[in-house]
Amino acid sequence: MIVTTAIAGVAGTGLGGLIGALLQKDSNRAVSLLLSFAGGVMLSVVCFDLVTEAIETEVGILTVIAAIAAGVAVTYLLNYLIDRKTNPEVGHINDSHPKTADDLDELIHSDHLEAHYAKNDNRLSLIIAGTVMACAIALHNVPEGMTIGASYANEGGVMGSSALILAVIIGLHNIPEGMAVSVPLIGGGMNKLKAVVLTALSGAPTILGALLGYLIGDMSVLGLALSLGFASGAMLYVVFGEIIPQSILMYRSKLPAFSVIIGMFVGLFIIYM
């Protein structure tokens, strides 16, 4: 499970980082469409796989709904706390700014780190800003890993077809997310090789999520339902609260919506092929 998750998380994100390094800095259209596509893929996974598995545990639909709601609430709260800490320190984020990220550097909070660099702040401030950026990225990757770990637990601790399919989908999903990490880092002046390596390492929290999802899911049927539901809720917030709004603001047209739909079709095909 750990090796498979590492490939999906680290290699998938790293590949996205490499693609981002090869693109021009002005790649908002490409990244927007790829992010919305990845959001559509994850919607299929959540709605047609994870939630279905949680319901099949027969712990009761209200329990499943509560677990999903908890995943949404916790992820939103953590994002809110990070934004509340970082936004006042970034000059262009004011009252007229959209209440969500509208550029890649805002999605991963690299703009916050760049603001500290620009002010020549001390090393401690830079470390704190870098840690905040890492936490923002981890909020995307930990729930993704939980889906793999919970599915692994659901299959009796064996890397069966369902968990393997999830790993493939997560890897596919992580490619545009890797681009979303590397492009602003390179745009901020970081060496391309260093940016790609850091981007790949940013996928490491997926492994932590997989272990957490497996440990909770392996406790009992209730634990499995809670793990699947919580991961589903967290991913729903990431998709609807961050990825889709970000994609539309980055490339203001109907195409991101169609890209989401195409992503859902691809996710359905992979799950049920």
Confidence tier at 107 by pLDDT (50, 70, 90): low
> Which pTM does this prediction carry?
0.81
As a whole-number percent, the residues of the chain with pLDDT over 70 amount to 77
Lowest-confidence range among 27-31, 110-114, 220-224, 256-260? Answer: 110-114
Phi-psi region of 93 (alpha: psi -120 to 50; beta: other; left: phi over 0): beta
Q: Residue 33, Cα to own-chain centre: how many angstroms? A: 16
**Long-range contacts made by residues 109-117, C-beta under 8 angstroms, separation at least 24?**
109/82, 109/133, 109/136, 110/184, 110/185, 110/188, 111/184, 112/86, 113/188, 114/188, 115/89, 115/90, 115/91, 116/89, 117/188
Dump strand ranges (E) for 113-152. Answer: none
Pairwise CA distance, residues 186 & 190, whole Å: 5
Q: Look at residue 231 and tell me whether its pLDDT is greater than 80.
A: yes
Pairwise CA distance, residues 90 & 84, whole Å: 11
Whether 235 and 45 have beta carbons less than 8 Å apart is answered as: yes
What does the domain layout of the chain look like in residue ranges? 2-272
- pLDDT value, residue 146: 83
Q: What is the CB neighbour count within 10 angstroms for residue 100? A: 16
- pLDDT value, residue 257: 92
- pLDDT value, residue 229: 92
Whether 180 and 104 have beta carbons less than 8 Å apart is answered as: yes
Once rounded to an integer, what is the mean pLDDT over residues 174-182? 77
pLDDT tens digits, residue range 69-91?
999 999 899 888 887 777 776 66
Closest CA to 133 of 160, 114, 154, 158: 114
Residue found by looking up tokens 């780190």 in the block = 113
The radius of gyration of the chain's CA atoms, rounded to the nearest angstrom, is 18
